[in-house]
Amino acid sequence: NNWPVYINVHFHVVAANTSIEGGYVPQSQVDSQIEILNKDYKNTGVQFRLDNTSRTINADWFENVNPYTSEATLMKETLRRGGPETLNVYTVSFDNGYAAGLLGYATFPSDYEDEPKDDGVVIQYGTLPSGNLYPYNLGRTLTHEVGHWVGLYHTFQGGCDPETGGDEVADTPAQAVPTRGCPTFRPDTCPEQPGFDPIHNYMDYSDDVCMRGFTPGQAARFRDQIRTYRGINV
């Protein structure tokens, strides 16, 4: 087959000023984030290639971008590059607004047709590897958000649905609620359904250090999603 298929990445650093606290993350952090992403997607058929890093000083976007805000719309309309097959990543602080404290958010493949300019992933800059957002500073926020961008739902989506657990993936055990931290005794929030909660799955809400992988069913689903909606031949 043609594996791995490479997805081009446009990485947009949006900062308040040119200090690290202002969100001006060094290129080394961007590069190690792409490395983590590729490690986490190893053997799924998909890998990522950093095409370009753009740097924009805009304190309004840095602080006020939140899902569905005019700042987010304007930022993406201004900076986004490429078509449905191109991954655009933006780093901001989310400091102000209704979603302050958010780690990241993403659009789904099936959203592209309706809102092409909105397509992409926005993450908090402190979530990059060796960022300041412990315990979410090992780069797994981008792994998780890109999971949505390729068409995955949370493992706890739809709760204890006996068919698929609600995430439309059969090999992720059903889960009633998101996991926090990294429990030492494996939770079983859907005792009627087989399997313990998938606390090590990238699409749960565990700490970065707890997250280890996608299931084969998740990789099969996202390959299908990006073939259908992003025209990626994988």
Q: How far is the CB of 148 from ligand ARG (least distance, A)?
A: 8
147 binds Ca ion (CB under 5 A): no
| Cβ nearer to Ca ion, comparing 4 with 159 | 159
Figure out which of the listed residues 61, 62, 205, 222 binds ligand ARG, where binding follows CB under 6 A. Answer: 205
CA 94 – CA 221 distance, rounded (Å): 30
Give least dist CB 182 to ligand ARG, A: 10
Site for ligand ARG in 133-152 (CB under 6 A): 136, 140-141, 144
Q: How far is the CB of 177 from ligand ARG (least distance, A)?
A: 14
Q: Which residue type is seen at 214?
A: F
Active-site residue flag, 145: yes
**For residues 74-113, which are near ligand ARG according to CB under 6 A?**
102-105
Complex with ligand ARG: residue 152 or 234, whichever CB lies closer: 152
Identify which of 228, 17, 39, 28 has the alpha carbon closest to the alpha carbon of residue 142. Answer: 39
Please answer whether residues 98 and 69 qualify as being in contact, where contact means their C-beta atoms are separated by less than 8 angstroms.
Answer: no
Residue with tokens 């300019």: 117
Q: Which of 21, 145, 168, 192 is catalytic?
A: 145
Q: Does 208 bind ligand ARG (CB under 6 A)?
A: yes
- 120 DSSP 8-state letter: S
Q: Is 222 exposed, middle or buried (0-12, 13-18, 19+ CB in 10 A)?
A: buried
Q: Which partner, Ca ion, ligand ARG, none, binds residue 169 by CB below 5 to 8 Å per kind? A: Ca ion
d(CA 93, CA 56): 13
Q: Which residues of 51-88 are buried (b: 16+ CB within 10 A; e: fewer)?
A: eebeeeebeebbbbbbeebebbeebbeebbebeeebbb
Catalytic site residues?
A: 145
Q: Which residues bind Ca ion (CB under 5 A)?
A: 164-165, 167, 169, 172
Q: Which residues bind ligand ARG (CB under 6 A)?
A: 102-105, 136, 140-141, 144, 205-208, 211
